[in-house]
Amino acid sequence: MAQGPIDFWFTIGSIYTYLAVMRLPDVSRQTGIAFRWRPFSIRTLMIEMDNRPMKVPAKLAYMWRDMARRAQAQGFPYRDRPPYPLQNLDLANRVALVGSEEGWCEAYTRAAYLRWFTRHEEPGSAGADTASLREIGQDTQRVLARADSDEVKQRYEAATGEARALGIFGVPTFAVGPELFWGDDRLDDAIAWYREA
Amino acid sequence: MAQGPIDFWFTIGSIYTYLAVMRLPDVSRQTGIAFRWRPFSIRTLMIEMDNRPMKVPAKLAYMWRDMARRAQAQGFPYRDRPPYPLQNLDLANRVALVGSEEGWCEAYTRAAYLRWFTRHEEPGSAGADTASLREIGQDTQRVLARADSDEVKQRYEAATGEARALGIFGVPTFAVGPELFWGDDRLDDAIAWYREA
């Protein structure tokens, strides 16, 4: 039976999403499975649910430590803890949404994460976004104007609503139809599920 | 250099701890690594930290679903969602603590989890504990009297204090010296770290 892609729900600004962003293109090539990149605002949903793991200092400290260990083990660049949380999370993700419509979402998200995690420049800040967009050959002024348009803001809200309806409560989440797999560390489970479907 | 065991910090009553309890004996045999079973009260620490992932309905529903999928994939028995949270969590874990001093912690914890997850009988309830202890050849009356003694209550509090000092915020946690690995899904990472140490 023909199957669609696996939906990769993410928000630029999430810690562990870095690992998924860095390995997903290779995983896709190796498995032949397509992933549809779906930026939205997990922050909105987490506030609604009063789901605030980051408010627990021991847990937040652990997450950065664990992320650093896993990045090193997988050979992804990492330079101690970057600025967190992001100041302009929504703008960064609306830029990614524009990219998902124009075919450069993956490239922007990867560039934005690398700049954030290795240079400590925040996605959604003017300097970082200008550099990331230039790096991938996009016109910053045009893209930022689109990202700030009511049309894109509405689509960003609609994507967040879709994630809410699916029962998403954290990112990254891989969705195989209605079946959710939360966390970069559940990517293998999602792929196994997809293959059995 | 000679190394001690990996500390396996857990609380009977945690969802994912089931997976670790079921596979740890085999993992230990296969790797030659000893695990020291350390029951304590994660509930106490989570309340102190206001760390309440289980208060998020979408997250809790997901955790049971994910646990069921993983139990099935690994061949561990599971029959839909058991009673949760446990009413007498502390008693069950003080029984496990007595077991850790007398050499049957693993056996009791495994029996208690299996009874909970397959028969829906709660660890810490009189009927379930009597059956689990009988199953592993222990005298219920003697064990429960010890588990209720001030001496064991103090050691339970001390173990919880030790976990707090290590920075533990969830279970299961594997500790390789000061290095923490949180979650059944981080067991491989803990083992890799232990081997490199």
C-alpha to C-alpha distance for A38 and A174, rounded to whole angstroms: 10
Q: Which of B51, B58, B59 sits opposite A56 (nearest CB)?
A: B51
In this complex, is the C-beta atom of A181 within 8 Å of any C-beta atom belonging to chain B?
yes
Model pLDDT for residues A168-184, shown as the tens digit of each residue: 999 999 999 999 999 99
**pLDDT confidence tier of residue A55, bands split at 50, 70 and 90:** confident
Q: Is the pTM of this model over 0.80?
A: yes
ipTM of the complex: 0.93
Residue-wise pLDDT tens digits, B28-52: 999 999 999 999 999 999 999 999 8
Domains and CATH numbers, chain A: 6-196 (3.40.30.10)
Structure tokens at A76: 């992804």
pLDDT of residue A18: 98
Residue A54 pLDDT: 84
Q: Do A56 and B186 touch (CB under 8 A)?
A: no
CA distance B4 to B172: 19
In this structure, the number of other CB atoms found within 10 A of the CB of residue A140 comes to: 15
A197 and A27 Cβ atoms separated by less than 8 Å:
no
pLDDT tens digit string along B169-183?
999 999 999 999 999
Q: Which residue of A has its CA nearest to B173?
A: A62
What pLDDT was estimated at residue A149?
98
Any A CB within 8 A of B62 CB? yes
Residue A163: closest C-alpha in chain B = B58
What pLDDT was estimated at residue B1?
42
Cα separation, A89 vs A45, whole angstroms: 14
pLDDT for A1? 42
The pLDDT of residue A46: 96
Query: Taking 70 as the threshold, does the pLDDT of residue A103 lie above it?
Result: yes
Nearest-neighbour CA in chain A from B33: distance (Å): 21
- In angstroms, the separation between the Cα of residue A126 and the nearest Cα of chain B is 35
> Can you list the residues of chain B whose pLDDT is less than 70?
1-2
CB contact under 8 A, B62 and A189: no
What is the pLDDT at residue A174?
A: 98
Q: Has residue A108 got a pLDDT over 90?
A: yes
Q: Which of B47, B44, B135, B144 is nearest to B97 (CA)?
A: B144
The predicted structure's pLDDT at residue B15: 97
Backbone angles phi, psi at B8, to 5 degrees: -105, 95
* Residues forming a β-bridge with A176: A179
Instruction: Pick A51's closest partner by Cβ from B56, B168, B169.
Output: B56
CB of A64 less than 8 A from some CB of B? no
Q: Taking CA atoms, what residue in B is nearest to A59?
A: B169
